[in-house]
Structure 1
């Protein structure tokens, strides 16, 4: 009897021990995240043990959204970024120039705004025949011309490239001859390059391609390497290479003074247009003189090569015979 009671009591206590062991087992961390049924007595599976991100703020409230910065605080930053980008574009990519005279009529009118490509010269590209280019005054071509006095707004616009700088003495003309070319005007024309006549529909109506005057309208020049010969499309109203042959460059423009090629008329809107190279400059014959010069230059080298071949073969034959001995 006593043994039976003891045995029963021992078995019951064993069941209670096993129950307490099972009940005391803590759920895994994975369960505490995925399961929504937690008991406060489970030890660590109540709301108080959840991480701050799961329960919101430190006080249990929902997290607050970050207040956006005021537009007026961001505006100076945006303006600063825009100015830096504009300055970089002006310096390395594209710059706007205003046409101050009638020397390029009717291709360009006074007051037109053109965009000039400044990028390609950075990669070694040089002006080609027929292009309209902007260049720095090579040797006081603009002597006597009035100097504009810009206001503060115009100075700022010129600094970021939306207006030309008053300090820069720049001109815009069409490239007629490049290094190695012979450019000639006889009578009223046509203008010839390397002996080939140019068909110039862009010349101002009523003008002749060449001017018959005593100041330089009649000429024959050889363009040195690294230089260009430029003329305005308004032939009787353009002080270009023809009338500056007394300067230190003999009327030529050094390539290093070229700012870039004018590629498009950007303003006014009704004048929007591109500035392509006229078809007359695509004549293969224009390059004939340069090709002939290159052939003459290479001829002595070719003769030397032809003369060297038999000598090399003779020396190799002697070496082979000597080796056979």
Structure 2
């Protein structure tokens, strides 16, 4: 007959080995549940890191903050800026719509901003949800290094290297320029203008400054190639064919 002592010895709950096994299984189960609980957070963080790297080195959505490029670009449009467009030997071409850092050319003052606010804004800008830096501009390239850009001929058109440019992209009712100018673009720099000439602060506004209103190519962030939002305005931003007729610049600047 079994004694109480023998029954106690055969009780699994009192077996230190078996008890430890159940405890280990329970601990592993809790660890697995914790992993599943934090996995979505981990995936979310990894996605943010991926998007940040993508927007930093490859392509970044850019929120249009002003009317200076209407009607081509409207306030609130999101455009995808290709940051690889001018790498590996390529350079901006006449007619390209570009985003660039105006520090040192269009902007000559320090931009003060709360560090925390700046970090949050940069994160939002990387996703196209917030405006970019105050020093970032979006304009169209009218002249490249060596080009002579003048305004205006007898019909009121801008000329590049003596060839008038048919600017069909201008905002309706705008003249090519109300400000006369005649400039040879230095090598390694660009002459840029907004499509809404009456509302655009561009190269014309900096004629009397160093560089004559032009911007350095190395300050170009990328080429705006696609309107991604709103969906109703989904379209590519191709260079107008009128720039294809511009002859090569003459003289030592070419």
Distance 1:192 1:155, change over 3 A: closer
Partner residue of 2:244? 282
Name the structure, 1 or 2, with higher relative contact order (CA <8 Å, separation 6+).
2
SS in 2 for 1:78: helix
C-alpha displacement at 1:168, in angstroms? 5.0
CA contact (8 A) 2:65 2:131 kept: no
Distance 1:180 1:95, change over 3 A: same
Deviations, residues 65-116 of structure 1 (Å, cap 9, x unaligned): x987754231122122212211211111101111111111100111111110
> Which of 86, 90, 114 in structure 1 is aligned with 2:51?
86
Partner residue of 1:119? 84
SS in 1 for 2:106: coil
C-alpha displacement at 1:128, in angstroms? 0.5
The worse-fitting range, judged by mean Cα deviation, of 225-234 and 118-127 is 118-127
C-alpha displacement at 1:137, in angstroms? 1.2
Structure 1 consecutive aligned stretches of length 4 or more whose deviation exceeds 4 Å: 66-70, 146-155, 164-168
CA contact (8 A) 2:78 2:128 kept: no
CA contact (8 A) 2:64 2:131 kept: no
Coordinate RMSD, CA, aligned: 2.9
Partner residue of 1:47? none
1:239 aligns with 2:201: yes
More helix by share: 1
SS in 1 for 2:198: helix
Partner residue of 1:194? 161
Give the Cα–Cα distance (whole angstroms) in 1 for the partners of residues 48 and 235 of structure 2: 27
TM-score, normalised via structure 1 length = 0.61
C-alpha displacement at 1:234, in angstroms? 0.8
SS in 2 for 1:201: coil
Give 5+ residue unaligned stretches, structure 1: 1-65, 212-216, 298-325
1:206 aligns with 2:176: no
> Which of 210, 227, 246 in structure 2 is aligned with 1:248?
210
CA contact (8 A) 2:63 2:132 kept: no
Distance 1:148 1:276, change over 3 A: farther
Partner residue of 1:39? none
SS in 2 for 1:120: coil
Partner residue of 1:98? 63
SS in 1 for 2:175: coil
More strand by share: 2
CA contact (8 A) 1:148 1:166 kept: no
TM-score, normalised via structure 2 length = 0.76
Give the Cα–Cα distance (whole angstroms) in 1 for the partners of residues 196 and 131 of structure 2: 25
Q: How many residues align?
A: 220
The worse-fitting range, judged by mean Cα deviation, of 244-253 and 147-156 is 147-156
Give 5+ residue unaligned stretches, structure 2: 1-27
